[in-house]
Amino acid sequence: MTPSPVRGDGVATRERTIAKPAETAERAEMRRLLREFNKTRDPRIRERLVELNSDLVHYIARRFANRGEPLEDIEQVGFLGLIQAIERFDPSLENEFSTFATPTIAGEIRRHFRDRSWAVRVPRRLQENLAKVNAATQQLQNELGRSPSVAEIGAKVGLEPDQVLAAMEVAPAQHTVSLDGPVGGGDEPLTLGDRLGLSDDNLDRVEMQDVLEQVMAHLTPRERKILALRFVEQLPQTEVAKRLGISQMHVSRLQRAAVEHLRKEFGAEAPV
């Protein structure tokens, strides 16, 4: 029978050795860099930490693939979450960094999808308030047996009534309506696109008239009349001559002189 080892104090004990897995060099480097970054906030150290944890970002991003977003875009959002985790991690708590970083990275990706799912860009604060309001509304309806008031919803989620109303107002921004969707009845129903206004060709004329009103103050009354008839009412020179009781050649000379004067005064804004 093999004797038990004898310790220095003379008491025989059985040695129990528990083998611990050796820490990899990469893991040891990461622990050291996390401590250094926490002290120095050196961007070069942060860059190295991002490199060491890139596989974690790729792994989490793949869980959100096939949701209508390119994987590269999802990974970029994940790296933003990783940087946030590096900035907030406290090495003194002796927690595993991957355990701390995983929910931060995944949460940032989820927020990305939530933001992109809105048809119209809405501030995140309003989106979060709307989620609270919707959940509270459903819960209060079940409890009260009726639709809750704005004040009751606000009391439930800790928001002022105007904040509740602001959240409710952004709800339609979550959905879009196709321009090809039918509206109204009848044998030949119209689409929403059919009801939208079209470009008005007269808008260019309105803009030109506004320019003329500004620059024609520098002309004589007759010159202003000629330019108004020619460029606003778009009459031919023969018709302008009839209205003013002068020859077409005279109209042409006055028009040319007026336009030349306007070019000198206003450059490209003058009518041609």
What is the per-residue pLDDT across 144-184, written as a single tens digit (0 to 9) for each? 888 888 888 889 889 888 888 887 776 665 555 555 556 55
pLDDT of amino acid 133: 85
CB 137 within 8 A of CB 146: no
Run of H or E residues at 39:
helix 25-40
Beta strands 190-191 and 182-183 are antiparallel
pLDDT of amino acid 140: 86
Q: Which residue has the higher pLDDT, 206 or 22?
A: 206
- Residue 194 in any domain: the answer is no
158/222 same-domain check: no
- Residue 35 in any domain: the answer is yes
- Residue 2 in any domain: the answer is no
CATH code, 258? 1.10.10.10
- Residue 183 in any domain: the answer is no
- Residue 197 in any domain: the answer is no
54/132 same-domain check: no
- In degrees, rounded to 5, the angle at the alpha carbon of residue 47 between the alpha carbons of residues 42 and 48 is 100
The DSSP symbol for 158 reads T
> Given the structure tokens 């977003």, which residue do they identify?
69
142/218 same-domain check: no
46/102 same-domain check: yes
pTM, rounded to two decimals: 0.41
pLDDT of amino acid 38: 92
- Residue 72 in any domain: the answer is yes
Mean pLDDT of the chain: 76
Q: What is the mean pLDDT of residues 11-38?
A: 68
Q: What is the mean pLDDT of residues 33-53?
A: 93
Q: Hey, which of 1-10, 65-74, 110-119, 151-160 has the most confident mean pLDDT?
A: 151-160
- What domain range is 94 assigned to? 25-116
The total domain count for the chain is: 3
* Lowest-confidence segment of 126-130, 193-197, 237-241 by average pLDDT: 193-197
The band of 69, judged by pLDDT with boundaries at 50, 70 and 90, is confident
The residues, ordered by sequence, that sit 6+ positions from 191 with a Cβ below 8 Å of its Cβ are: 179, 180, 181, 182, 183
Task: Please tell me the distance from the alpha carbon of residue 253 to that of residue 240, in angstroms, as a whole number.
Answer: 13
CATH code, 45? 1.20.120.1810
Residue 221, classified by CB atoms within 10 Å of its CB into exposed (0-12), middle (13-18) or buried (19+), is exposed
The band of 37, judged by pLDDT with boundaries at 50, 70 and 90, is very high
